[in-house]
C-alpha cells in the first residue's frame, strides 16, 4: 500500500521546519520540485507502526500565481492529493497567518490540521487564545504547541493520525464577502458549472481566483473554455471593476481580512502585553544607517573567523589525509596509467570534494543561526537601498561577503534569496569575488613584483573585482526575465535557534553539496589529470596541457602573456592556488618568475587570475543551484570579461610607459 | 484629520488604516498576504531618510521599501 502523504503548509518564520524535523527526525530527503529550483523537502514520519510521507511545502504568505514558491505549494495542495494538510499558524500573528489558512480553506480541502505554534510566546505577549473555541469556529482540529520546546508534538501527531484515518468530520469555514461580491462569485460559478474545468478544480475557488485575475487560472479557463469563453468572463469582470471603481483583488483581500478579524474576536483577546522593548532596541541598532553597518561588519567578521578558524585546519587535514592515502596506495597498483587515474584523478578529486565539506558545513551552520535568529532579514533591510541600484536584492550581501572566503558555499547560500531572478543574478556575479585561494595568488604575485607597494596593489585587484561584480550584476539583471520582488520583508521575532535544528539543517545542506557538486568536481579533476599526463607528463613539453598552452599563446600575447601563463591558468581551473604551483614548476623559483616578466605582466596575470573563470567546484555549485546552461553562461561570460580587462590593462600600461 | 496620505508621510509612532494600494497586482497581492490590506491598522515603528519604513501590521513587523511606502495610501488615526 502506498504511504499516506502529509503536506506541511505555512508562512515563512512560523517554525514549520522545526515541526518538519520533529516529525521526520533524520529521515529526510532534500531535492527540487520538478522543473523548478524550489527546494523540496520530504521525510518519513512513523507512528504506531504506520509510515507517512511528509512533504514540506515552500513557506509562503499566500497562494497566488505571482511567485514560483506559491505556485508549487498551491499546485501540490490542488493536485497532489495529500491525505492530511498540516497548516502551521504562528500564534503571535494570527490575523496574517489566517489569510493563508483561508486561502487553503477556499480550495475546498477537508483534511486539515492547524498546528498553532509559538503558543508560549503568544501568552507572553498577552495574547489569549481559546483553542477549543478556535477549533469550533474554524471547523478543523487546532493543536496548540511550542515546537521549539517540544511541547504539544505528541498531540499534533495524534491529530494527524486521526485525520489521516478519516476519523474527524471537518467543516472548514469559508470566508464570506459582501453580497455584491458574492453575487459575482455566483455568477462566474454558474458560467463555469458543468465544464470539464469545474470537475477538476473547486468551483468557488476558480471564481474567486478569476475575480482576482490570477494568471494561471486565466490560462486554465482559456484552455478549457476557449478564447471566447475566457473573453466573456473577463468582460464581465471588467464591468464589475468599473462599477466598483476598484480592482477586485483589493476588495477581496480587504474583505477577507475583515472576515478573519471577525472570526478572531470569537476566540482571541489581548491582555496586558509585555511589550518587546529589547526587539525594538535591537531593530533600531541593526537597521540604523550608521550603526547597522558597523554591526554588520562585526557580525560577518565573526562568521568568517568562526568558519575559517575551524574549517581551514580541517580542510587541510582532510586534503593531507587523502594525499597520504594516495601515496600509500600508489605502489600497490602495477599498471601505470591505472595508478595515475586512481591516485591523481579519482582520489585527488574525491579528496578535494570532501575537503570542502567542513567549510561548507560550518558556513551553513553559521548562516542558519543568523537566519533563524532573525538577523538576515535585518541585513537585507540595511543593504536594500545600495544593492538594488545594481540590480541585486539587499539579501545578496550575504553571498557576496561569503565569496571572499570560498565561492562554493557562497553560491549555495543564494538559495536564501526569495526570487528566482535575484538568485540567478547573484550566483552569476559571485565567482568574481576573490576567494581565499585567489588571495594567496594575489598576495604571492604582488609580493614578488611590487615589494613595498604590494598591499596597495593587492587592494586594487579587490576593488577591480568588486567593481566588475557589481557592474556585471547591473548588466545581467537587465537581461534575466522575471520581475524582481517589490521590497517588503517580514522582520521576524528574534529567537535563539535550537542546536538540534541547526545541526540537522547544516548537515542536510552540506550533504547535498557533496552529492550535487561532487560529480562535476570529480569529472573535472580526472579530465585535468588526463591533460597533464598524456601523451607525456607535464615538463616534457608534449603533454596536452602544454600543447593547449602553446595553442593559446597568440591569444595570450594580446594581453602580454605567454603559453606558460596559459598552462598555469588551465590548472587554476581545478583550484586557483594551482596557478602559483604551476608557475613554480615551469619557472623553478619566484626569482625566475620575476626575471621573466615585467611588473605590468605580473599585474595582468593577477587581474586575469582573479576574473577569468570559476573553479570547477564553483561551476559544480552553480550547476547544482541552477542548471548546466547557467553554469556555462557564467563561465563564458567570465572568460570574456577577463580577456577584455587583461587586454585593456596591458595596452593601457604600455601606452602609459609602465 | 480625515486626509488620505501615503504611508511614507507618517512619522514613527503614528497609526493609520490602510485605504488603498496604488501598485501593480504583484505588489498588491504580496502586501495583502503579508498583512497589509484595506481596513488593516498599521503603526509606524521606524523610518530612516533613505531606508525603508518599519511598520507593525497584524502582529508582525514589516520593512516596506521607500518606493513601495509611497504607494500605500492610509488614513491617519
**Residue of A388, A486, A492 to mutate for B, most B C-beta atoms under 10 A:** A486
Buried b (16+ CB within 10 A) or exposed e, A606-628: bbbbbbbbbbbbbbbbbbbbbee
Which of A396, A402, A364 is CA-nearest to residue A379? A396
pLDDT tens-digit series, residues A239-276: 988 988 888 888 899 999 999 999 999 999 876 655 56
Residue A1: which pLDDT band, with cuts at 50, 70 and 90?
A: low
Given a cut of 90, is residue A185 above it in pLDDT? yes
Whole-angstrom Cα distance, residue A113 to residue A140?
6
Q: Nearest by CB to B60, which of A100, A213, A490?
A: A490
The reply to whether A129 touches chain B by the CB within 8 Å rule is no
pLDDT tens-digit series, residues A138-181: 999 999 999 988 899 999 999 999 999 999 999 999 999 999 89
**Tell me, what's the pLDDT at A124?**
85
Residue A485: which pLDDT band, with cuts at 50, 70 and 90?
A: low
For A379, nearest residue in chain B (alpha carbons): B63
List CB contacts of A164: < 8 A, sequence separation 6 or more: A4, A6, A52, A83, A84, A111
Residue A597: asked if its preceding bond is cis (omega within 30°), the reply is: no
Give me the mean pLDDT over the A565-571 stretch.
Answer: 90
**Opening angle at CA A513, ends A508 and A519, nearest 5:** 135
Given a cut of 90, is residue A500 above it in pLDDT? no
Q: Is A488 within 8 Å of B66 when comparing Cβ atoms? A: no
B52 contacts on A by Cβ (under 8 Å): 381, 384-385, 487
* Mean pLDDT (chain A, rounded): 88
List CB contacts of A132: < 8 A, sequence separation 6 or more: none
The reply to whether A307 touches chain B by the CB within 8 Å rule is no
pLDDT tens-digit series, residues B6-50: 999 999 999 999 998 887 777 788 888 888 988 888 999 988 877
pLDDT-above-90 percentage for chain A: 44
Give me the mean pLDDT over the A525-529 stretch.
Answer: 78
Dihedrals phi, psi of A656, to nearest 5 degrees: -85, 0
Given a cut of 90, is residue A585 above it in pLDDT? no
Q: Is A257 within 8 Å of B57 when comparing Cβ atoms? A: no
pLDDT tens-digit series, residues A57-112: 999 999 988 778 889 999 999 999 999 999 999 998 898 999 999 999 999 999 99
List CB contacts of A655: < 8 A, sequence separation 6 or more: none
pLDDT tens-digit series, residues A191-234: 898 888 888 899 999 999 999 999 999 999 999 988 988 998 89
List CB contacts of A300: < 8 A, sequence separation 6 or more: A401
B63 contacts on A by Cβ (under 8 Å): 287, 377, 381, 487-489, 491
**Tell me, what's the pLDDT at A390?**
92
Given a cut of 60, is residue B1 above it in pLDDT? no
In the block, residue with C-alpha cell 596506495:
A329
Q: How many domains does chain B have?
A: 1
A92 contacts on B by Cβ (under 8 Å): 59
Q: Which residues is A52 bridged to in the sheet?
A: A4, A45
Give me the mean pLDDT over the A579-585 stretch.
Answer: 80
Residues 314-343 of chain A whose Cβ lies under 8 A from any Cβ of chain B: none
Cβ–Cβ under 8 Å, residues B40 and B56: no
**Tell me, what's the pLDDT at A99?**
94
Q: Is A254 within 8 Å of B38 when comparing Cβ atoms? A: yes
Whole-angstrom Cα distance, residue A393 to residue A390?
9
A279 contacts on B by Cβ (under 8 Å): 61
**Tell me, what's the pLDDT at B2?**
67
Which three three-digit cell numbers place residue B9? 508621510
Q: Is B26 within 8 Å of A94 when comparing Cβ atoms? A: no
Q: Which domains does chain A have, with CATH numbers?
A: 4-164 (3.40.50.300), 179-270 (1.10.287.1770), 276-658 (no CATH)
Q: Nearest by CB to A486, which of B20, B62, B68?
A: B68
pLDDT tens-digit series, residues A394-434: 889 888 988 887 888 889 888 777 778 888 999 999 999 99
Residue A35: which pLDDT band, with cuts at 50, 70 and 90?
A: low
The reply to whether A379 touches chain B by the CB within 8 Å rule is no
Cβ–Cβ under 8 Å, residues A282 and A494: yes
Q: Is B57 within 8 Å of A96 when comparing Cβ atoms? A: yes
Q: Is B58 within 8 Å of A490 when comparing Cβ atoms? A: no
**Tell me, what's the pLDDT at A487?**
81
List CB contacts of A338: < 8 A, sequence separation 6 or more: none
For B64, nearest residue in chain A (alpha carbons): A488
Q: What is the DSSP string of A589-609?
A: SHHHHHHHS-HHHHHHHHHHH
More confident residue, A173 or A585: A173
Which class for A120: exposed (0-12), middle (13-18), buried (19 or more C-beta within 10 A)?
A: middle
pLDDT tens-digit series, residues A432-480: 999 878 888 888 898 889 988 888 898 899 999 999 999 999 999 998 8
Residues 414-443 of chain A whose Cβ lies under 8 A from any Cβ of chain B: none
Residue range of the domain that includes B53: 4-76
**Tell me, what's the pLDDT at B74?**
94
Q: Nearest by CB to B26, which of A60, A279, A486?
A: A486
**Tell me, what's the pLDDT at A483?**
62
Residue A314: which pLDDT band, with cuts at 50, 70 and 90?
A: confident
**Tell me, what's the pLDDT at A13?**
85
Residue A41: which pLDDT band, with cuts at 50, 70 and 90?
A: confident
CB atoms within 10 A of CB A47: 14
CATH number at B16 reads: 2.30.30.90
Q: Nearest by CB to A488, which of B37, B38, B62?
A: B62
Which of A499, A507, A284 is CA-nearest to residue A378? A284
Q: Is B46 within 8 Å of A488 when comparing Cβ atoms? A: no
Under the phi-then-psi rule, with left for phi > 0, alpha for psi from -120 to 50, and beta for the rest, what region is A360? Answer: alpha
Q: Measure in Å the smallest separation between the Cα of A389 and chain B Cα atoms.
A: 13
Which class for A271: exposed (0-12), middle (13-18), buried (19 or more C-beta within 10 A)?
A: exposed
Q: Nearest by CB to A284, which of B38, B46, B60?
A: B46
Amino acid at each position: 500500500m502506498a504511504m499516506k502523504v502529509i503536506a506541511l503548509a505555512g508562512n515563512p518564520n512560523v517554525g514549520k521546519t522545526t515541526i518538519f524535523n520533529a516529525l521526520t527526525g533524520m529521515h529526510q530527503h532534500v531535492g527540487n520540485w520538478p522543473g523548478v529550483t524550489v527546494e523540496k523537502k520530504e521525510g518519513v514520519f512513523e507512528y504506531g507502526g504506520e509510515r507517512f510521507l511528509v512533504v514540506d511545502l515552500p513557506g509562503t504568505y499566500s497562494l497566488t500565481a505571482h511567485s514560483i514558491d506559491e505556485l508549487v505549494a498551491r499546485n501540490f495542495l490542488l493536485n497532489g492529493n495529500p491525505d492530511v494538510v498540516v497548516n502551521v499558524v504562528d500564534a503571535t500573528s494570527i490575523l496574517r497567518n489566517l489569510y493563508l489558512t483561508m486561502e487553503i480553506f477556499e480550495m475546498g480541502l477537508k483534511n486539515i490540521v492547524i498546528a498553532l505554534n509559538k503558543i508560549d510566546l503568544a501568552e507572553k505577549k498577552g495574547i489569549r487564545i481559546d483553542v477549543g473555541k478556535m477549533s469550533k469556529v474554524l471547523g478543523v482540529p487546532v493543536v496548540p504547541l511550542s515546537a521549539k520546546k517540544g511541547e504539544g508534538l505528541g498531540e499534533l501527531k495524534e491529530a494527524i493520525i486521526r485525520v489521516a484515518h478519516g476519523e474527524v468530520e471537518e467543516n472548514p469555514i469559508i470566508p464570506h464577502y459582501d453580497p455584491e461580491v458574492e453575487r459575482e462569485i455566483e455568477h462566474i460559478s454558474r458560467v463555469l458549472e458543468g465544464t470539464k474545468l469545474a470537475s477538476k478544480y473547486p468551483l468557488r475557488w476558480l471564481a474567486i481566483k478569476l475575480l482576482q485575475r490570477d494568471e494561471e487560472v486565466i490560462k486554465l479557463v482559456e484552455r478549457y473554455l476557449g478564447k471566447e469563453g475566457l473573453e466573456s468572463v473577463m468582460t464581465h469582470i471588467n464591468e464589475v471593476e468599473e462599477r466598483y471603481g476598484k480592482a477586485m483583488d483589493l476588495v477581496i483581500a480587504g474583505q477577507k481580512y475583515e472576515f478573519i478579524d471577525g472570526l478572531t474576536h470569537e476566540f482571541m483577546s489581548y491582555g496586558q502585553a509585555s511589550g518587546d522593548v529589547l526587539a525594538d532596541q535591537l531593530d533600531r541598532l541593526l537597521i540604523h544607517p550608521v550603526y547597522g553597518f558597523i554591526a554588520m561588519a562585526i557580525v560577518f567578521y565573526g562568521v568568517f573567523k568562526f568558519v575559517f578558524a575551524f574549517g581551514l585546519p580541517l580542510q587541510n587535514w582532510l586534503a593531507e589525509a587523502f594525499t597520504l592515502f594516495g601515496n600509500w596506495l600508489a605502489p600497490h597498483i602495477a599498471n601505470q596509467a591505472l595508478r595515475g587515474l586512481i591516485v591523481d584523478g579519482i582520489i585527488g578529486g574525491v579528496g578535494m570534494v570532501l575537503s570542502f565539506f567542513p567549510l561548507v558545513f560550518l558556513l551553513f551552520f553559521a548562516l542558519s543561526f543568523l537566519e533563524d535568529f532573525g538577523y538576515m532579514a535585518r541585513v537585507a533591510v540595511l543593504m536594500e537601498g545600495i544593492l538594488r541600484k545594481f540590480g541585486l536584492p539587499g539579501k545578496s550581501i550575504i553571498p557576496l561577503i561569503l565569496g571572499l572566503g570560498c565561492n562554493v558555499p557562497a553560491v549555495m547560500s543564494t538559495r536564501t534569496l526569495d526570487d528566482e531572478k535575484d538568485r540567478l543574478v547573484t550566483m552569476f556575479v559571485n565567482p568574481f569575488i576573490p576567494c581565499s585561494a585567489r588571495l594567496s595568488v594575489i598576495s604571492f604575485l604582488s609580493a614578488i613584483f611590487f615589494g613595498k607597494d604590494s598591499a596597495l596593489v593587492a587592494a586594487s585587484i579587490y576593488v577591480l573585482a568588486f567593481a566588475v561584480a557589481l557592474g556585471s550584476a547591473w548588466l545581467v539583471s537587465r537581461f534575466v526575465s522575471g520581475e524582481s520582488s517589490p521590497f517588503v520583508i517580514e522582520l521576524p521575532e528574534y529567537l535563539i535557534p535550537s542546536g538540534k535544528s541547526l545541526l540537522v539543517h547544516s548537515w542536510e545542506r552540506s550533504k547535498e553539496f557533496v552529492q550535487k557538486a561532487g560529480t562535476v568536481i570529480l569529472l573535472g579533476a580526472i579530465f585535468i589529470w588526463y591533460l597533464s599526463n598524456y601523451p607525456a607528463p607535464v615538463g616534457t613539453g608534449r603533454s596536452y596541457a602544454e600543447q593547449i598552452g602553446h595553442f593559446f599563446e597568440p591569444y595570450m600575447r594580446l594581453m602580454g602573456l605567454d603559453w606558460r601563463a596559459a598552462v598555469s591558468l588551465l590548472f587554476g581551473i581545478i583550484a586557483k592556488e594551482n596557478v602559483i604551483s604551476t608557475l613554480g614548476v615551469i619557472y623553478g623559483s619566484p626569482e625566475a618568475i620575476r626575471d621573466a616578466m615585467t611588473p605590468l605582466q605580473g599585474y595582468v596575470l593577477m587581474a586575469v587570475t582573479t576574473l577569468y573563470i570559476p573553479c570547477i567546484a564553483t561551476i559544480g555549485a552553480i550547476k547544482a543551484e541552477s542548471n548546466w546552461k547557467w553554469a556555462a553562461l557564467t563561465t563564458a561570460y567570465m572568460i570574456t570579461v577577463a580577456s577584455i580587462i587583461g587586454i585593456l590593462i596591458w595596452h593601457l600600461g604600455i601606452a602609459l610607459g609602465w | 484629520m480625515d486626509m488620505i496620505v501615503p504611508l511614507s508621510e507618517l512619522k514613527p509612532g503614528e497609526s493609520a488604516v490602510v485605504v488603498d494600494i496604488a501598485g501593480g497586482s504583484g505588489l498588491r497581492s504580496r502586501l495583502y498576504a503579508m498583512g497589509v490590506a484595506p481596513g488593516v491598522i498599521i503603526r509606524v515603528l521606524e523610518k530612516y531618510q533613505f531606508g525603508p519604513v518599519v511598520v507593525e501590521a497584524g502582529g508582525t513587523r514589516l520593512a516596506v521599501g521607500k518606493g513601495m511606502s509611497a504607494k500605500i495610501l492610509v488614513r491617519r488615526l
